[in-house]
């Protein structure tokens, strides 16, 4: 076997002496500081990054050239990157004589210690740390390391912890319904979860990828019908976490956009349960996008408002250059359109209804405030759907004549 023995070092509170004040030292010093090491830099000059660390008191500095073995006093580890091979070799030899491991950045393979390509995949139950050494080829090691991170965060690797950890909850946005629109953090936490509490709008493909023994609790809500009351969902989250389980509460879109994520977080915090919130791609923006509708567009709309229900409609801007996005708006579509016209929006204002965005069932129905309710009824529009109101709707892929202000709905 060639190459170094890969070993984990606990550096917290331990002295490390770094000889040299250049960019390589700066990078390593930053990494070592993150591990809690106590850093002493020996160098006549420092690059700005190192100087800043000295000025902030995070690193101590001996402002001169390496003077000999006494500079290494008390070090558990030595790092040398002076740019001068002879000096680096001397530092390495002095460290060797004192039985102290030394990284020789100038001649990595010659050092008694070598730095592998490293990365952390963080979970609330502790980080998974990886270190790769690839026959002394740092580029190959870095490439392999990055591939491993991709693999570990892809959701296919079981990251559950088998040791007691006190439980946690993550409120995770699942995006609008397409697996690829999940965040990396979401897939990582799903792979670390013992229990997944899920919603109706969560992509099924995501659940299908979970390890077989991950428990899935479906608290999905149907429109106008709430099978599991919110208090009960809060109770499930808190109780599962208190039993020491890793809980992902997977929610459609973004947890904080009309998703009651704030309440679930508050319930966890009130119960003293560790909670993390992972944003998701909200349907309010991404479902219109799936139909080709940007919620803002230069010269067409400079802002947008996301609403549900009717109470807030009268107070909203009435210009067709302000986009309205209505969630959960299908049952009340006719009334919404009528109220917007009553509030001052022109009846000719374009409206798009996008059902099941980002899924194979996606369907787009276009019209104006005057006729959208009728058109929607004709084709039997159903939830989930996003209603978009404003001139931006004319940018939809399906709008009959392309170009703002041109063409009309046939």
Print the SS3 string covering the chain: CCCCCCCCCCCCCCEEEEECCCHHHHHHHHHHHHCCCEEEEECCCCCHHHHHHHHCCCEEEECCCCCCHHHHCCCCEEEECCCCHHHHHHHHHHHHHCCCEEEEHHHHHHCCECCCEEEEECCCCCCEEEEECCCCCHHHHHHHHHHHHHHHCCCCCCCCCCCCCCCEEEEEECECCCHHHCCHHHHHHHHHCCEEEECCCCCHHHHHCCCCCCEEEECCCECCECCCCHHHHHHHHHHHHHCCCEEEEEECECCCCCCCHHHHHHHHHHCCCCEEEECCCCHHHHHHHHCCCCCCECCCECEEEEECCCCCHHHCCCCCCEEEEECCCCCCHHHHHHHHHHHCCCCCCEEEEEECCCCCCCEEEEEECCCHHHHHHHHCCCCCEEEEECHHHHHCCCCCCCCCCCCCCC
CB of 228 to ligand SAH, least distance (A): 15
Sheet holding 59-62, edge to edge: 59-62, 38-42, 15-19, 77-80, 101-104
- Candidates 84, 221, 321, 371; catalytic one: 221
| Phi then psi dihedrals of residue 107, to 5 deg | -145, 70
By beta-carbon proximity to ligand SAH, the closer residue of 157 and 328 is: 328
- Candidates 84, 199, 321, 371; catalytic one: 199
CB of 393 to ligand SAH, least distance (A): 15
By beta-carbon proximity to ligand SAH, the closer residue of 141 and 324 is: 324
CB of 237 to ligand SAH, least distance (A): 16
CB of 374 to ligand SAH, least distance (A): 20
CB of 190 to ligand SAH, least distance (A): 17
Query: Active-site residue 221, yes or no?
Result: yes
CB of 306 to ligand SAH, least distance (A): 9
By beta-carbon proximity to ligand SAH, the closer residue of 43 and 325 is: 325
**Taking a C-beta distance cutoff of 8 angstroms, is the pair 102, 112 a contact?**
yes
Residue showing the smallest CB distance to ligand SAH in the complex = 253
Q: Which residue has the tokens 């965060």?
A: 153
By beta-carbon proximity to ligand SAH, the closer residue of 253 and 350 is: 253
Query: Active-site residue 391, yes or no?
Result: no
For residues 133 and 116, what is the distance between their CA atoms, to the nearest angstrom? Answer: 5
Give contact residues for ligand SAH (rule: CB under 6 A): 176-177, 201, 251-254, 257-259, 282-284, 287, 327-328, 354, 356-358, 383-386
CB of 207 to ligand SAH, least distance (A): 15
For residues 131 and 152, what is the distance between their CA atoms, to the nearest angstrom? Answer: 13
CB of 283 to ligand SAH, least distance (A): 3
By beta-carbon proximity to ligand SAH, the closer residue of 97 and 266 is: 266
For residues 63 and 264, what is the distance between their CA atoms, to the nearest angstrom? Answer: 54
**Taking a C-beta distance cutoff of 8 angstroms, is the pair 281, 181 a contact?**
yes
For residues 379 and 397, what is the distance between their CA atoms, to the nearest angstrom? Answer: 19
By beta-carbon proximity to ligand SAH, the closer residue of 282 and 394 is: 282
By beta-carbon proximity to ligand SAH, the closer residue of 207 and 328 is: 328
By beta-carbon proximity to ligand SAH, the closer residue of 16 and 389 is: 389
Report the catalytic residues.
Answer: 199, 221
């Amino acid at each position: 076997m060639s190459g170094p023995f890969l070993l984990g070092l606990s550096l917290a509170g331990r002295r490390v002496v770094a000889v040299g004040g250049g960019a390589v030292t700066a990078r390593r010093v930053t990494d070592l500081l993150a591990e809690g090491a106590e850093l002493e830099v020996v160098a006549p000059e420092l690059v700005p990054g190192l100087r800043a660390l000295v000025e902030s008191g995070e690193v101590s500095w001996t402002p001169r050239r390496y003077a000999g073995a006494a500079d290494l006093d008390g070090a558990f580890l030595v790092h040398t990157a002076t740019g001068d091979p002879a000096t680096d070799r001397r530092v390495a030899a002095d460290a060797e004589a004192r039985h102290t491991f030394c990284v020789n950045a100038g001649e990595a393979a010659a050092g008694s210690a070598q730095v592998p390509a490293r990365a952390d995949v963080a979970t609330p139950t502790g980080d998974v740390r990886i270190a790769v050494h690839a026959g002394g080829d740092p580029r190959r090691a870095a490439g392999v390391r990055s591939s491993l991170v991709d693999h570990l965060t892809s959701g296919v690797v079981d990251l559950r912890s088998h040791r007691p950890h006190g439980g946690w909850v993550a409120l995770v946005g699942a995006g609008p319904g397409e697996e690829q629109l999940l965040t990396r953090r979401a897939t990582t936490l799903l792979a670390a979860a013992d229990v997944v509490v899920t919603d109706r709008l969560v992509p099924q493909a995501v659940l299908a990828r979970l390890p077989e023994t991950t428990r899935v609790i479906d608290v999905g809500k149907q429109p106008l019908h709430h099978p599991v009351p919110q208090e009960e969902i809060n109770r499930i989250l808190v109780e599962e976490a208190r039993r020491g389980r890793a809980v992902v509460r997977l929610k459609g879109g973004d947890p904080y956009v009309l998703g009651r994520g704030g309440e679930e977080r508050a319930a966890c915090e009130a119960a003293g349960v560790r909670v993390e919130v992972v944003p998701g791609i909200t349907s309010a923006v991404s479902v219109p996008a799936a139909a080709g509708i940007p919620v803002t567009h230069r010269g067409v709309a400079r802002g947008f408002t996301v609403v549900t229900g009717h109470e807030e409609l009268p107070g909203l801007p009435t210009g067709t250059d302000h986009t309205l996005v209505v969630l959960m708006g299908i049952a009340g579509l006719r009334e919404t359109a009528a109220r917007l016209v009553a509030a001052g929006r022109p009846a000719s204002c374009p409206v798009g209804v996008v059902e099941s965005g980002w899924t194979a069932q996606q369907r787009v129905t276009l019209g104006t405030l005057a006729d959208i309710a009728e058109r929607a009824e004709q084709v039997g529009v159903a939830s989930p759907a996003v209603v978009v109101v404003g001139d931006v709707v004319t940018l939809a892929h399906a709008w009959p004549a392309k170009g703002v202000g041109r063409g009309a709905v046939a």
